[in-house]
Amino acid sequence: MQWSPVHTQPFPQYAPLVASPTATLQPVQPALQPQVVQIAPQVSHDIDDLVKLDPQFTQTLQVERRQKLGMDTPQIKEFLSKTSLMSLGSYCAVANSFEALGLREAAGPFDWMRSDCQGITHLLRNGFEDFLDWDGTSHKVGGLDVFPMRWGGSFWHHDITDVKVRQTFMRRKERFLNAQNENLLFIRVVNGTQELMQITGLYSALQERFGDKSRVRLLVLIDLQDTEQEVITQDLGRDVIFSCVHHSSWESHIPAPTPEEQARLRLHKASDSYSAALVRALYIWASVGSFATWPSLASFSQRVVQWVGPDPKRDSFQPSRLSLAPVAATATMLTLNAAMAQPFTQMTQPLTQPLTQPYYFVRPTVPWPASPQRIF
C-alpha cells in the first residue's frame, strides 16, 4: 500500500513542563539522522481500494482496537448510534483512523487530500462552489502527482483532470453537504498551531451549514504535544473539543526495512493516536469523560507547544516544532505556571456555569473503562 510521502526528520526534544517559576525549555540534540522518504506511486489502484487491502484494517483488528479503547460501553454505543463522523483533513490520517476503528461508512471529500482550515471554511460558506477548481498546474512529490486547488488544498491520490474522478468527487461533495443525523461530528487535524485561532470561524461555518437539522460537534486534534489531554474553552462551549496528541506519533523512531514501509507505519502510528483521542472525546460527549477547561481559545492557544505544518497546497503533512526565544520561553512558562498553580475544581455535572478559575480539570462521573490505553 502506498501513501503520501512523509519526510522523517530529527526534532529537538524538550524537558517536560514543571510548576516552577525558573523552568525553561531545554533542547536536546536528537539521536536520529535525517531521512527523506520517497514513495513510489501505484496509479493502478484507487486509494480506497488500497486501504481496504491493508492488513491493518481487518475486521478482527478493528474489533480489537475498539475493545482496547473502551468503545463497547453502553454510553459510547448509544452516542455513536445517532452520530455521523466526517473528516475535515488536514491529511489522510483522520480517514485512516475511522477505518482503523471500523467507523468509516462512506468516502468524504477531504479523506485523502491536503487542506487548510481557511480553505474548508471558504468551501462551507459558498456551498463548495469552487471545490474542483485547480490552478492549472501540477507537480510531483515522491513520485505522486499533486494537483493544487485554488481554495488552498491539494489532491495527491486522484487525477483531478479525469472526468470520472471529478464526477466521483461531485457525489462525495453532495453527500457531505446533505449529511444529517442527531449529531454530526467533524474531525480536523490542524496544519499548525497558527490554525487554532481559525477554529472559531470554521465552527461557525459548520453551524450555519448544518446546525438547523443536526447538532454540530467538532474535534480538533493538535499534534506534537507533551501531554495527552482534552480541552473545552468557555467561548466555544462543550461541542468543540481540542485534543492534545502526544509528540511521539511524529518524533519517535520507527524502524522499517524500507522507506515506504516506514511511511506506512508512521501514518498508522498517527492514526492510532487520533483514534485514541477520538474515543476520549466520545467519552466527554457521553458525559463520562474528563477534560480541562480554559476561559478562551486565545488563552489555550498560547499554552500548547507551538509548531508549523507545510503548505497544504503543495506539500505533504509534516509537523515541525517552533523554537521559543529564551526570553519569550521564560515568559510563557511563568504565565502557564501561574495558571496551573490555581486550585483544581471537581465537577460532576456538565459545564453550565462561568469559570471561576482559568484552568481546572473536570473529572469523570463514572469510572473510566478498564482499558483507556494511550496508543503511541
Q: Is residue 350 part of a domain?
A: yes
How many residues make up the chain in this entry? 376
Please report whether residue 370 resides in a domain: no
Give the residue from 369, 183, 185 showing the smallest Cα distance to 289: 369
Per-residue pLDDT, 324: 54
Closest residue by Cα to residue 209 from 130, 124, 131: 124
The reply to whether 122 falls in a domain is no
User: Do the domain assignments include residue 349?
Assistant: yes
Q: Which residues contact 157 (CB under 8 A, 6 or more apart)?
A: 4, 46, 47, 92, 112, 113, 144
The pLDDT of residue 278:
98
The per-residue pLDDT for 68 is 96
Domain count of the fold of the chain: 1
Quote the pLDDT of residue 263: 86
The one-digit pLDDT tens for each residue of the chain (376 residues) are 333 433 333 333 333 333 333 333 344 444 444 444 443 334 446 888 888 888 889 999 999 999 999 999 999 999 999 999 999 999 999 999 999 999 998 999 999 999 999 999 999 999 999 999 999 999 999 889 999 999 999 999 999 999 999 999 999 999 999 999 999 999 999 999 999 999 999 999 999 999 999 999 999 999 999 999 999 999 999 999 999 999 999 999 999 999 888 888 999 999 999 999 999 999 999 999 999 999 999 999 999 999 999 999 999 999 999 975 443 444 443 443 344 333 322 222 333 333 223 333 343 333 333 333 332 2
**157 domain-assigned:** no
Question: What does the alpha-carbon distance between residue 112 and residue 93 come to, in Å, rounded to a whole number?
Answer: 8
Q: What pLDDT shows up at residue 264? A: 86
CB atoms closer than 10 angstroms to residue 285:
20
Confidence at residue 340, expressed as pLDDT on a 0 to 100 scale? 35
Q: Has residue 180 been placed in a domain? A: yes
> Is the residue at 66 inside a domain?
yes
- Do you find a cis peptide bond into 248, omega within 30 degrees of 0? no
- Amino acid at residue number 288: V
Q: Which domain holds residue 231?
A: 47-113+163-306+316-362
Rg (CA), the chain: 20
Assess if residue 148 is contained within a domain: no
